[in-house]
Structure 1
Amino acid sequence: MGSTINVENVVASTKLADEFDLYKIEAELVGAEYKKEKFPGLVYRVKAPKAAFLIFTSGKIVCTGAKNIEDIRRVIIALAETLKSIGIENIYSEPEIIVQNIVATADFKVDLNLNAVVLGMGMENVEYEPEQFPGVVCRVKKPKV
């Protein structure tokens, strides 16, 4: 019986332009939400593949919610085309996409004694505060995960 590993979320960032007028994007892009007093970025969600964007006036974009890196690339390129189609100019043609984080889950198909896991891995490599979060956060230096 092996474990099942699933990628739950990929977070990536890029820069699509030198700057954006978020009010214009909100006015033209159906479903876009920009509440400057609550958050400095515009939030925009897409359904296929499922992802969400945080778009900033600096031209920077954070994309989250995709299940793989290829979907990240697809939705960012699609967003660039959508922005062009609503009249946003000077969109970069070859944006560098940087994966910031990948969240994956695994089912080891056994019950784990988290206290023993913490002791076994060494306190300097783990975070375990069961009152705050019912899991152990393990940090590995090589590879950095």
Structure 2
Amino acid sequence: MADTRNSIQVENVVASSSINQEVDLRALAEDLDAEFEPVQFPGLVYRTQNPSVAVLIFDSGKVVCTGAKSISDVHEAITDTVQTLRELEVDAPQSPPVNIQNIVAKADLQRRLNLNATAIALGLEAVEYEPEQFPGLVYRLDDPDITVLLFGSGKLIITGAQHRSESEAAFTNIQTQLSKLGLLEGGQREYPRNVQ
């Protein structure tokens, strides 16, 4: 079995923080040139360019960072946002704590999967598979506590991790299980050729 962990790519890191005080979002939106449509969404949406993420600020002072491609991008975006708030005379802490909530990653088994056989082999109690509703199979792992979406193409979406190593462990876990069950046999994925 080839080690394809290097195919794991982080697509989104969601993290939370707090500036430990209530804020006037309407005034802050003008100062930051940020989006604030309270009828549609209760938070202010502040977009940073480098790294390119969305920082959501709520009137309670809670801050959520989404769209980052790495944990270091999260820290940089929150640090830069807090520094900007401090420049606007918001009494925010210099280095607020950052809590990683969810890492969403994608990976590729480089093999096609028969999702019907996979659903049965993995055990119906841990699997949700309704192809008429959604084209992927939802598999909940216990160790680590991660959810993996498997697609017939062999592509995976791994969600629920708080560290990249958990995404890698989930990938190794699913790859090992599928291999032991004989579901990764048959060589590399083949793509249909154009027929003329």
Q: TM-score, normalised by structure 2?
A: 0.68
Aligned to 1:73: 75
Report the more deviating stretch, 59-68 or 114-123: 114-123
Aligned to 2:161: none
Match of 1:52 among 54, 72, 76: 54
Aligned to 1:109: 110
CA contact (8 A) 1:2 1:108 kept: no
Instruction: Map residues 1-145 of structure 1 onto 2, 5 A cutoff.
Output: 2-3=3-4, 4-30=7-33, 32-88=34-90, 90-145=91-146
Q: Measure how far apart 1:2 and its partner are.
A: 4.1
Change over 3 Å in CA distance of 1:23–1:125 after alignment to 2: same
Q: Measure how far apart 1:123 and its partner are.
A: 1.9
The alignment covers a number of residue pairs equal to 143
Change over 3 Å in CA distance of 1:6–1:91 after alignment to 2: same
Identity over aligned pairs, percent: 48
**Unmatched segments (≥5 aa) in structure 1:** none
Point out which structure has higher relative CO (alpha carbons under 8 A, 6+ apart): 1
In structure 2, distance between residues paired with 1:123 and 1:24: 52
**Letter matched to residue 118 of structure 1:** A
**Unmatched segments (≥5 aa) in structure 2:** 147-196
Report the more deviating stretch, 73-82 or 109-118: 109-118
RMSD between superposed Cα atoms in Å: 1.5
Q: Measure how far apart 1:10 and its partner are.
A: 0.6
Deviations 1:45-88 (A, max 9, x none): 11211111111001001111111111111110111001112232
